[in-house]
Amino acid sequence: MAVLFCSDPLNGRRVDAHFVAEARAVRAGGGPVALLDHDALLAGEADRAVARVPAGTGGLRYRGWMVPVGRYAELDAALRRRGAELLVPPDAYRRAHELPGWYETFAGLTPVSAWLPTTPGEVPAPERLGALAAGLPPGAAVVKDYVKSRKHEWHEACHVPDLADPAALHRVVGRFVELQDEFLAGGVVLRAFESFVTPPGAAAEVRVWWRDGDPRLFTAHPDSPVTEVAEIPARDLEPVRAAVRALDCPFVTTDLALRADGVWRVVEVGDGQVSDVHAGVDLALFCALLTDDQSAGIPEDLVEHRP
């Protein structure tokens, strides 16, 4: 199974430095690697972006930087013109990558959310934000777009202490839109704030990597300073498994966090092709997910992950 990696912006014949270790692991396992010019793709030049993909390559799994859903569809079309195709089709990528695509399927497992389609630089009027906030429980909320938040600017552009304070809501949303600039994806999302705790000695969030509806790998969130992950009880994992299967996307990640009341909650869903991996992960195991190599020996406890 070939893997399509982003190329180095300064040398199109090399893999981007962020993904070079993964590409080496794919090659070490006997998997072929192809290269994508990510900058050309974002510029709307999809055919130029895939010029280094050998004609007739067949099925490809992308592994690289995030791609807007429209550009992803253009990438798929350009590859098909070269006798190749993405194994995650554009409609599946959209469902997993953008919150409106997966939210209904995961309702009840994830914080209550509401959203407004907007364009980059557009801050919704206070009355529109007030109407949006009315769909959430009273209290605090988190601001994000369809794909990402700005959690590292928590007080400035992410956390709204009280949705009943329209001035604070408009201020935080405005700053979020300003900082996202041209990269604002889809629109503004409000998510009800839930209080989470960090399991002792483990990462605050567990990133679960799903292939064809099954949990194949459990890793720390890439932002975590520790590698260890807590065990997720079957009673919490099984509803997530059901939701992933209902979403019907071939390669998905779910980030789970432990709520203060002891319930594991889904805080984010993503397409596995563009989800980052923790630095402490065994890349041989991880790259088996990319290449469909079952000989990599994924441990049974990672495949089933049942107590």
Instruction: Say yes or no: 208 and 161 in one domain.
Output: no
**Does 293 have pLDDT greater than 60?**
no
At 297, which CATH number? Answer: 3.30.470.20
Determine the pLDDT at residue 301: 40
User: Where do the H-state alpha helices sit in 98-165?
Assistant: 99-106, 126-133, 154-157
Taking CB atoms within 8 Å and a gap of at least 24, the contacts of 94-98 are 94/69, 95/247, 95/248, 95/249, 96/247, 96/249, 96/251, 96/252, 96/269, 96/270, 96/271, 96/272, 97/66, 97/69, 97/72, 97/147, 97/270, 97/271, 97/274, 98/69, 98/146, 98/147, 98/185, 98/186
Mean pLDDT on 237-256? 98
Helix (H) or strand (E) run with residue 69 in it:
helix 69-80
Q: Answer yes or no: is 32 within a domain.
A: yes
Residue 297, pLDDT above cutoff 50: no
Can you give the pLDDT at residue 212? Answer: 94
Q: Which of 54, 87, 120 represents a domain boundary (last residue)?
A: 87
What does the alpha-carbon distance between residue 94 and residue 146 come to, in Å, rounded to a whole number? 10
Phi, psi of 210 (to 5 degrees): -110, 130
Tell me the per-residue pLDDT of 185-233, one tens digit each, with 9 for 90 and over: 999 999 999 999 999 999 999 999 999 999 999 999 999 999 999 999 9
Q: Is residue 179 located within the same domain as residue 219? A: no
Residue 170 pLDDT: 98
pLDDT tens digit sequence for 119-176: 999 999 999 999 999 999 999 999 999 999 999 999 999 999 999 999 999 999 999 9
Residue 302's pLDDT band, with cuts at 50, 70 and 90, is: very low
Exposure of 219 in the CB half-sphere (CA atoms within 13 A)? 22
Q: Are 134 and 220 in contact (CB under 8 A)?
A: no
**Locate tokens 């993964």: which residue?**
22
Q: How far apart are CA 262 and CA 244, in angstroms?
A: 22
**pLDDT score recorded for residue 306:** 29
CATH number at residue 116: 3.30.1490
Q: Which residue has the tokens 């979020």?
A: 176
The answer on pLDDT for 94 being more than 80 is: yes
Q: What pTM, to 2 d.p., does this model score?
A: 0.93
Backbone angles phi, psi at 123, to 5 degrees: -100, 120
140 belongs to a structural domain: yes
End-of-domain residue from the set 147, 168, 193: 193
How far does the chain reach from its first CA to its final CA, in angstroms? 32
Mean model confidence pLDDT for the chain: 94
- 266 and 212 inside one domain: yes
Q: Are residues 210 and 120 in the same domain?
A: no
Same domain, 204 and 270: yes
Please determine, for residue 305, whether its predicted confidence score (pLDDT) is greater than 80: no
- Whether 123 and 156 share a structural domain: yes
**263: pLDDT strictly greater than 60:** yes
Name which residue leads in pLDDT, 299 or 24.
Answer: 24
Q: Domain residues for 208?
A: 197-304
Are residues 78 and 142 both part of a single domain?
no
User: Given 148, 174, 193, which residue is the final one in a domain?
Assistant: 193
Give the count of domains, the chain: 3
A 10 A CB-CB count for 91 gives: 12
Write the pLDDT tens digit of every residue in 68-87.
999 999 999 999 999 999 99
